[in-house]
Chains A and B, each alone.
Chain A
Amino acid sequence: MRYALTLYRWELEKLTAQWRVRAVFGVAVLAPWLFVAALRLQDAVPADTLFGRWVHLTGFATPLVVLVFTTQYALPLLISLVAGDIFAAEDRYGTWKTLLTRSAGRGAVFAGKALAAGTYTVVFVGLLACSSLAAGVVVLGHQPLVGLSGTLIGGGAATGLVLAAWASVLPAALGFAALAMLCSIATRNGPAGIIIPTMVGLLMQLASFVNGVDPLRHLLLTANFEAWHGFFTADRYYQPLVTSAVLSAMYLMSCLGIGYLLLHRRDFTEG
């Protein structure tokens, strides 16, 4: 346990020392401001995105539009950029033997890295949420938000609901982080650890648009990305969130379990 925490601290240090991580965090902070600046400069609205119609009416629509965009296209990729490389990086640098010839066991190494990848995921989602909320409210105003039943949601409630909506995608975000870590361990290759979960995410997103696969739809990790819609209706409903959070937890635990076994059994004969 003590070693896992030491490892965790060092993994965070290693992550923040890499330009890639700094760049992703920079994008998370800056991109929403560029988005609202673009909205200010023109009349067109992303009308086919939920809440996209209302972007000029209230700044609270901005973080929700960003949430829809991010979860549909970018989130698995942005998570895998770190989580899909966190184990394979040791193969690239040849540092497994350096790491594993000390007193900390493989379990501690695994736990430290998994915790660091999870922390990165939560921090990234949190940064993007806060930055897009701030950008929307500061640049476009804090007028009430038009909910999904047509009712108006006042500023205080809207802030809470927007943050809850962002928080509600964390289970699947962590599920994708675990999938990326599994790919990272199994392929021992950073690019593969990044590309495979990204493709899986896009395929799942595609499958969720297809009609007639309803039972299958509930088994997709991406179902969690839509669970927040129920927060914005007059009669709020949380059942999709509960279902998808349970499913995400199952993905998370199986990916981490298999990943740990693979790492535990690996013979380090090279590097």
Chain B
Amino acid sequence: MVKRFGAVRALDTVELRVTPGTVHGLLGPNGAGKTTLLRMLLGLVRPDSGTVRVLGERVVPHRAPTGVAGFVESPRFYPYLSAQANLDLLAGLDGRHASVDTVDELLARVGLAGRGADQVSGFSFGMRQRLGLAAALLREPRLLILDEPANGLDPAGMRDMRALVRELAEDGRTVLLSSHLMAEVEQVCQDVTILSAGSVAYHGTLDALRDRAPAPAHHLRTSDDAAAGAAARGRVGIEVEPHRHGGLAVRAETADLDDYLLALAGAGVTVRALAQTSTSLEQLFLAATGEDG
């Protein structure tokens, strides 16, 4: 399938194989087509040509496919209605009835216990994210689509949300989680797809991706950068070059880095600062999407 916006090809023949019962990460820089893809999977956007198939069935254009629920960008609700009323309404649109008990249980599960009677207008961004997850779960989907679900949450909230997402997958649901944060994907996903400029740049397990990943990058400041640079020459498993903000950019796995630092000490060069600038997967992500690290 293809989706164009004017002359721009937003998406071109994307295939995602998502293993049931796992959390699948969808990564890509802004404009890569993540959102358009999710909107197509939810039936909000129609492909210009070709078809969208999900859970073995063709998605009828502009119709929400059965068994799929979730949200794209931030979930939105009627601010002048209570959380309970919003969920009642959405349950009605699925031909279900949401009893007060069901809704209470759901709200407790997403961390909104006791807030059912409150108007959504008083909810923070993070609380709306949680309510969005509750609304999606109400549909009892086989495929759950979550777009940046940890957005707007505090660190504790993020941890809870990630734990919940893992738990949902353990219950047998399949989760497609879109994110621009590699760290988030590393924590919850088994498989990952990286989109770049409308097509798939990588598709596979995180482990396979790690194998292909370059070494993590570090920013190193020493008493004598020239000597440190010279010390790296000829060493295996380490790449050193001048960093654009001064000091040295060092790419190496942890063991190789340790050896290098000991060698520096032996050569009389002292280390003044060492910071990891990106993990290996972020390095790969940036490489795969053609963005400069």
Residues of chain A touching chain B, judged by Cβ–Cβ distance below 8 Å, are 2-3, 6-7, 9-10, 13-14, 17-18, 93-106, 264-269, 271
| B64 and A103 contact, CB distance less than 8 A | yes
Which residues of chain B are within 8 angstroms of A14 by Cβ–Cβ distance? 78, 80-81
Number of B interface residues at 8 Å Cβ cutoff, please give it: 34
Complex Cα distance A95/B86, Å? 11
Residues of chain B touching chain A, judged by Cβ–Cβ distance below 8 Å, are 5, 36, 39, 42-46, 62-64, 66, 68-73, 75-81, 85, 89-90, 92-95, 135, 139
Complex Cα distance A149/B64, Å? 61
Distance of A265 from chain B, by nearest CB (Å): 8
Which residues of chain A are within 8 angstroms of B5 by Cβ–Cβ distance? 269
| B66 and A268 contact, CB distance less than 8 A | no
Which residues of chain B are within 8 angstroms of A17 by Cβ–Cβ distance? 80-81
| B43 and A101 contact, CB distance less than 8 A | yes
| B62 and A264 contact, CB distance less than 8 A | yes
Which residues of chain B are within 8 angstroms of A97 by Cβ–Cβ distance? 39, 42, 44, 71-73, 76
Cβ-closest chain B residue relative to A265: B62
Distance of A85 from chain B, by nearest CB (Å): 13
| B44 and A102 contact, CB distance less than 8 A | no
Distance of B58 from chain A, by nearest CB (Å): 16
| B62 and A6 contact, CB distance less than 8 A | no
Which residues of chain B are within 8 angstroms of A104 by Cβ–Cβ distance? 93-95
Which residues of chain A are within 8 angstroms of B45 by Cβ–Cβ distance? 267-269
Contact of A98 (CB < 8 Å), options: B66, B68, B75, B95: B75
Complex Cα distance A106/B64, Å? 10
List 20 other contacts, CB 8 Å, given A95-B78, A104-B94: A3-B93, A6-B93, A10-B89, A13-B89, A17-B80, A93-B77, A97-B44, A97-B73, A97-B76, A98-B75, A98-B76, A98-B135, A102-B90, A102-B93, A102-B139, A103-B64, A268-B45, A269-B5, A269-B44, A269-B45
| B43 and A95 contact, CB distance less than 8 A | no
User: What are 22 inter-chain pairs, A to B, with CB distance below 8 A?
Assistant: A6-B95, A14-B80, A14-B81, A93-B76, A97-B39, A97-B44, A98-B90, A99-B93, A100-B44, A101-B42, A102-B93, A103-B64, A103-B93, A103-B139, A104-B95, A265-B62, A266-B62, A267-B44, A267-B45, A268-B44, A269-B39, A269-B44
Most buried by B among A7, A17, A269: A269
